[in-house]
Amino acid sequence: MKRKIIHCFATYILALFLFFSNMLSCYAASPVIRSVSISPGSTVATLNSTCAFTVSVVGDNNYSREVAWSVSGQTSRNTFIDGNGILNISSEETASSLVVKAVSKQDSRYSATALVTLQKPSCQVQIKASPDNAGTVTESRSVDYGGSITLEASAKDGYRFDSWMENNTILSTDSKLTLNNITSAREITAMFSQTRFHLNLSSSPAYSGTVSGQGVYDRGGSATITAVPIQGYRFVGWSENGNIVYVNPDYTINNISRDMNLAAVFEMEGAVTYTITASASSDNGTITPEGRTTVTQGSGIQYKITPKSGYTISAVYVDGTPVGAVSSYNFTDVKGDHSISVDFAAIPGQESAPPKPAETAKPDNTDTETSPAPDKTQPEKKPEEQPKQPEPSKENGLTGTLKMLDISVEEAEKLIDEGNDRELMEGALQTGDLQVTIHNDFADPTQEIDSGSFYDNTGIRNFEAAVDHMLDREDKIELLLGKRQVAIDFRIERLDRAVPAETLKFFSGNKMPAMQIGQYFEVTLTKTSQNESRQITELPEELELVLHLPDQLKADNRKFYILNMHTGADGRPEYTEFADKDKDADTVTFSADRFSTCAIAYIDWQPKAEQTPEITDTAADSDASEGNTVTAGNPGMNNTLTSIAVVLVVILVAAVCILAMLLIMRKRRE
């Protein structure tokens, strides 16, 4: 009987040992959460915006990285955070701050919080006059988000107010305009038009004759001016900006639409003169002045060429040599006789009358608007033989990139409207009408593109979005016709020089405490056109940028971020963090629509055990305003495992002792 009791007791002891051994192994292999952290830990946001948060969950034994996101403190149901950590802030939100929380789905005792401070954004309303000296307008200023502003415009003497315009759209024709519910920056222009113009007259050389007819005239009116030379001089013509525009001393100017400064040019009798003969190959356009014009040696004259409706300038010839399809031509420092002629061509697709042969220029042209009066004081010259006119040009009137591509303006406009203008832009790169430079210090190797297509650039993706923002439809057409050259320069440059103390302080005060900054750099976007450069600091669409990490920053278990400092509409610096979007350990990929000073930052997510700070879960719930990372150890789990091990050892020792005592007692009885 005693033997059975001993065997049963031993069996129970063995079963108990196996049970606790299995429990200990189960506890040892269970997934364990060590910490949860949020980036950024604190940030400032505005109404009607979004804020992205990233979370890091650290643990052991194939633990879950999933978290449940929540936001508290909001007053609007339209303020919420989605499952990807994107906080959407409603334009109706009235709270001053929000708390974002991420809770581990595996172990809800572990969480992290971030503080979002809300500020009511202000919108800058820029107001200007066009022309800028035509009147007075309300001063530009900032307006609270959703607020209103009343604009007033007053025209100066000689001007009238026409309309308020924004983005080439007329808002109102009343001089007083109230804008309500302003939710974005606005740029409003008060459009004025001149109602009276100044006509200023002078003599050249001074005191060589008298002039009359100058004064102030209403828009659309007419003025008759007269020049009378003194004895010993004769009248040559009326000059504007150094070029003869009319050759009769009596000049009637119709439909006045601008200020004019005209000089009556006189010369001493007996001065050397030359003849310039101007003609058009058809009546499908005009050249002014037409016919023969007498020009004093060393002086100049300007010719203006105007096609009729349905026609374009095909070619202009000076002394029989083509000079292009120009709309004006200047003769300067004349030292001989010259000729100028022009060909016109019908615009394809438009009906037009067949061209008529040009009339032969007459020596004594009596045209009241353009021909000089006969000069009886000069000996009569024999009519010169008219230069032989070249054959009409067969060109289609296109210039620049469109001429190279043989694409009409109408077809180009259609392609631009359809968003299918890649062929046009690549053609503009070939002709030089469009110049794009992309420089990236973090490319592999260092990359700079100043020719070819920017569409296939791997370091800056979807760069065509930047080009479309900087070039509207009209800009592209003028560029493609060669009328305007545009240079776009995009640069990502390392800041290896000393970084300003203010910049260092700004990044240090906004980044996460555990975050280290490895490299500062700057992103700039510049547009240059017609010798005027403008820096673009913000785009309506994000560009995706790829940076190859410097070798000294590469390390295992390291998470990279891009920090950005940008000046907001109110003039204050704004802080933004971008998480690395790719899984390549050698690169950082991020999307940005603001270009300014940036930094490459990183966090080592698996530090050594002795370097891991431990705080209680109570601190995790109460420290939202102080930081963003809550790191908690697992003392409860460790204590449980230790207790189990101690109990198991005690039981084993007790069992061995009891078994030994029973065996000793049995032997003594026997």
- The pLDDT-based confidence of 72 (bands split at 50, 70, 90) is very high
Q: Using the CB atoms, write b or e for 388-417: b if 16+ within 10 Å.
A: ebeeebebbbbbbbbbbbebbeeebbebbe
Q: Which of 4-18, 475-489, 577-591 has the lowest mean pLDDT?
A: 4-18
Q: Report the DSSP pairing between strands 186-194 and 159-166.
A: antiparallel
123, 136 in Cβ contact below 8 A?
no
Q: Please name which of 492, 481, 510 lies closest in space to residue 577, comparing C-alpha atoms.
A: 510
pLDDT at 663: 75
Q: Which of 233-247, 435-449, 635-649 has the lowest mean pLDDT?
A: 635-649
Q: Between 192 and 347, where is the model more confident?
A: 192
Question: Where are the strands (E) in 477-537, listed by range?
Answer: 486-494, 516-529, 532-536
- The pLDDT-based confidence of 281 (bands split at 50, 70, 90) is confident
pLDDT at 446: 44
DSSP state of 353: P
**Other CB atoms within 10 A of residue 106 CB:** 17
pLDDT at 262: 92
Q: Is 598 exposed, middle or buried (0-12, 13-18, 19+ CB in 10 A)?
A: buried
Is pLDDT at 390 greater than 50 in this prediction? no
Strand order in the sheet with 80-81: 49-52, 86-89, 80-81
How many helices and strands (H and E) does the chain possess? Answer: 9, 45
Is pLDDT at 183 greater than 90 in this prediction? no
- The pLDDT-based confidence of 593 (bands split at 50, 70, 90) is confident
Mean pLDDT over residues 442-460, rounded?
59
Write down the pTM of the prediction. Answer: 0.37
Mean pLDDT over residues 326-348, rounded?
87
Question: What is the C-alpha separation between 171 and 125, in angstroms, rounded?
Answer: 15
648, 660 in Cβ contact below 8 A?
no
What is residue 13's three-state secondary structure? helix
Question: What is the C-alpha separation between 345 and 347, in angstroms, rounded?
Answer: 6
Question: What is the C-alpha separation between 112 and 622, in angstroms, rounded?
Answer: 10
Q: Is the dihedral of CA 614, 619, 620, 626 positive or negative?
A: negative
Q: Which of 423-432, 516-525, 576-585 has the lowest mean pLDDT?
A: 423-432
- The pLDDT-based confidence of 245 (bands split at 50, 70, 90) is confident
DSSP string for residues in 24-63? HHHHHHS-EEEEEEEESSEEEEESSEEEE-EEEEEEESS-
Q: What is the mean pLDDT of the chain?
A: 78
Distances (CA, A) of 357 to 212, 367, 392, 496, 554: 40, 19, 11, 71, 78
- The pLDDT-based confidence of 497 (bands split at 50, 70, 90) is low
- The pLDDT-based confidence of 17 (bands split at 50, 70, 90) is low
What is residue 443's three-state secondary structure? coil
Question: What is the C-alpha separation between 367 and 361, in angstroms, rounded?
Answer: 11
Amino acid at 479: L
266's enclosing H/E stretch is strand 260-268
Instruction: Taking each helix axis as running N to C, give the angle between helix 2-29 and helix 635-669, from 0 to 180 degrees, rounded to the nearest 10.
Output: 160
**Other CB atoms within 10 A of residue 76 CB:** 14
Is pLDDT at 489 greater than 60 in this prediction? yes
Is pLDDT at 342 greater than 80 in this prediction? yes
Instruction: State percent of the chain over pLDDT 70.
Output: 78
pLDDT at 561: 92
Q: Which residues pair with 341 in a beta bridge?
A: 279, 317
Q: Which of 50-59, 317-326, 463-472 has the lowest mean pLDDT?
A: 463-472
Residues 6+ apart with CB under 8 A from 380: none
pLDDT at 487: 82
Mean pLDDT over residues 592-601, rounded?
88
Q: Which of 199-213, 304-318, 339-353 has the lowest mean pLDDT?
A: 339-353
Question: What is the C-alpha separation between 524 and 595, in angstroms, rounded?
Answer: 6
18's enclosing H/E stretch is helix 2-29
Is pLDDT at 622 greater than 70 in this prediction? no
pLDDT at 317: 93
Q: Please name which of 49, 44, 56, 35 lies closest in space to residue 561, comparing C-alpha atoms.
A: 56
Mean pLDDT over residues 485-494, rounded?
84
Question: What is the C-alpha separation between 652 and 561, in angstroms, rounded?
Answer: 54
Is pLDDT at 71 greater than 70 in this prediction? yes
Q: Which of 44-53, 361-370, 578-587 has the lowest mean pLDDT?
A: 361-370
Question: HSE (CB half, 13 Å, CA atoms) of 86?
Answer: 7
216, 197 in Cβ contact below 8 A?
yes
